[in-house]
Structure 1
Amino acid sequence: MADLAIIDYGMGNLRSVANALRHVAPVQDRVVVTSDPAVVLAADRVVFPGQGAARDCMHELRACGLEDAVREAAHTRPFLGVCMGMQVLLEHSEENGGTPCLGVHAGDVRYFGAAPRDPVTGEHIKVPHMGWNRVEPARDHPLWDGIAPGSRFYFANSYYVAPSDASLVAATTEYGIRFCSALARDNVFAIQCHPEKSAQAGLRLLSNFARWDGAAA
């Protein structure tokens, strides 16, 4: 039996994430949604979801007393960051005029731009990046098990992560530019899209996480 903690700091579609995990996790495991740092740090696996703005995310983490617990969990147990829960793992976001983030990994979160263009057609593309898009794994990882390269996942983002270390990149996606849509190192895996909204590919990724021991290979 294992406990999977979903961090609740007031930002994110927690019900959908919890329902998806309960659907795919081993039957003996317990999925809990919690804003208690002690419960987070007692869990066997931790999911850090989120949506909205980076500044609001960091404010709410501090208000809930969760900032240190998130950092510790990201260094000590299987950890899944989703959407904003991926972005604020980096050092800094351009959002809200510049926002210091958790600094678990070196790098920045960058804006797609006010009027980005498709590099092939020259046509304007919409921001936010909203809807289904292909995710291309950059390397093997246990969370890609059973997921075909180029599988479609659901995105909703105006910003993307740019890690300083290219070896962190676990997948890329094309949207005007080719950007890092998943990163991974040691016990941390984080993804920009919403696996809980991404049909069978997303459920498979969550199922893989629910059984992952935190080893990279």
Structure 2
Amino acid sequence: MKKTFLLFSVLFFTNAFAQKADFINPKGKWYLGAEAGLNIINEYAVDQKDVSLQGGVLAEYYIGKQWSLSARLKYFKTGLAFYRPDTHSGSWLDLGSDESFGTFRGAVISMPVDIKWEFRLYKNLRANLKLGVAYNIETKSEYNYSENLSTEYAKQFASLNSGIGLNYFVDEKLAIYADYEYYLLGGYKGSTHFIILNGGYYPQNALLNFGVKYNFKK
């Protein structure tokens, strides 16, 4: 009985130590990396999607075992297309608008800053949620708008971005990751007409990232 208990105790603590040894704690560490993937542009009223490649570089610091702050520099295409029919009624109380259409094709250098929360799935495989703000600079701005619409819009703007992903620590130095993020509410490119208020057209980008990051500190 004692031998069985001793064997069980040895196996238990050996397994516990092994699991602890397998777990990597990134707290207090800097990671530098690079990422690339797909960029999906939603086309609003024309109900289409435009898919292209995108990429960037990453700097990430873990302020805790599960929390990190990251800053990135990314380049991707952006754009939208819309069509608004003539809504005039011809009556004495006419609140309609003229027919209008537009296609915008551009590209941006984006600098998103995010806070990320990671939670463990299995050993060093973690899932994460992130939320942040991005500052964007348009490097390309091509408009094909109807004559009754302006094309004078800001070439620098902020947007919100959020995402969900997976992160796997290969060892204490190296990690690989994949995530899906969404950029929203930035880069106003026109308006829709309602009876009381106007709504806006904004490019919306969904990015699928695959990346690798490395801790260079000894």
Q: Same fold (TM over 0.5)?
A: no
Name whichever structure is richer in helix by fraction. 1
Name whichever structure is richer in strand by fraction. 2
